[in-house]
Amino acid sequence: MPYQSSDRTRQKKDTKRTAMMQAAMKVFAEKGYYAATVRDVVTAADVAIGTFYFYFPDKETLFVYLYEETADFLLQAIDQGLRSRRTLPQQIPAGVQAYLNIALFEPAVVQLLLVGGVGAVPSLNAQRAAFRERLINIWQRPLDAALDQGLIVPQNTRHTAEALAGAYDEVMLNLLAQPDPAAEANAVLRDLTDFTLRAVVYTGN
C-alpha cells in the first residue's frame, strides 16, 4: 500500500510553505531581488534552510512563483471590484478601491509586482508580460461596455486602458512613498475616479 501523508502532516507542510511565501514577499519588497538571500527568507519565516530547499530549488524559482501568486491576487481583487458594479462611474471607484486596499494593507504585493525583480530575473519576462496583459484587459472591459452603450466618446479602448493602468500604478507607488498613505487614500480614490471619467469623456449621468 503506497504511503499517504496524513491531513495533519499536509497541513503542517502548507503552513511552512505559506510562512515562507509571506516572509519572502516582505524580504523581496524591502531588500530587492539582488540583495535578498535565501538565508533572509528562512530567518524571516523562522524555518530551517533545509525546509526552503524542500519546496524551492533556488531563490529565482521562489521569486517567479511568488510573482505569479501575487499577480493573481491583485488581478482577482480588481476584477471582482469592477464586476460588483454596473455603471462606469460605479465600476471605476470600485476597482480603484480594491487596488487601494491591497496597496494599504499588503503594500509588499504592490512593491513586488511593480518594482521587485524588474530586469533582475530574465525568466520572469513572460509572467510579467502576462500580468500586464491581464491587467489591461480587466480595465478595458468596462470601457468596452460603456462604448457599446454610447456612454463614452469613440476611442481605442485598448490604448485608453493601457494609459489608465500605467497611471493607476504610478499613483499607487507614489502613495506608498508617503509618510501616511492611509490619510491620502480617500483623495486618491476621488481624484483617480474623476481623472478616469474625464479621460474617457464619460457622457452619461
Here the CATH number for the domain that contains residue 138 is: 1.10.357.10
Q: For residue 14, is it within any domain?
A: yes
DSSP letter string over 82-100? HHT-SSHHHHHHHHHHHHH
Q: Does some domain include residue 4?
A: yes
Give the domain CATH number at 3.
Answer: 1.10.10.60
Within this chain, do residues 39 and 77 fall inside the same structural domain, yes or no?
no
Nine cell digits for residue 116: 521587485
- Taking residues 113-119, what's their average pLDDT? 74
Is 15 within the bounds of a domain? yes
Please check the confidence at residue 4 and state whether its pLDDT lies above 80.
no
* 92 and 34 together in one domain: no
- Residue with more model confidence, 9 or 94: 94
Other CB atoms within 10 A of residue 203 CB: 11
Confidence of residue 89 (pLDDT cuts 50, 70, 90): very high
Both 192 and 108 in a single domain? yes
Do residues 177 and 198 make contact, with C-beta atoms less than 8 angstroms apart?
no
Q: Which domain holds residue 164?
A: 59-199
Q: How many domains does the chain have?
A: 2
pLDDT above 50 (res 101)? yes
Cα gap 23→40, rounded to integer Å = 9
Q: What is the mean pLDDT of the chain?
A: 90
Output the 3-class SS for 18-78.
HHHHHHHHHHHHHHHHHHCCHHHHHHHHCCCHHHHHHHCCCHHHHHHHHHHHHHHHHHHHH
Q: Which band of pLDDT confidence, cut at 50, 70 and 90, is reported for residue 1?
A: very low
Residues 71 and 46 in one domain: no
Domain presence at residue 205: no
For residue 202, list its beta bridge partners.
152
Query: Is the same domain home to 43 and 76?
Result: no
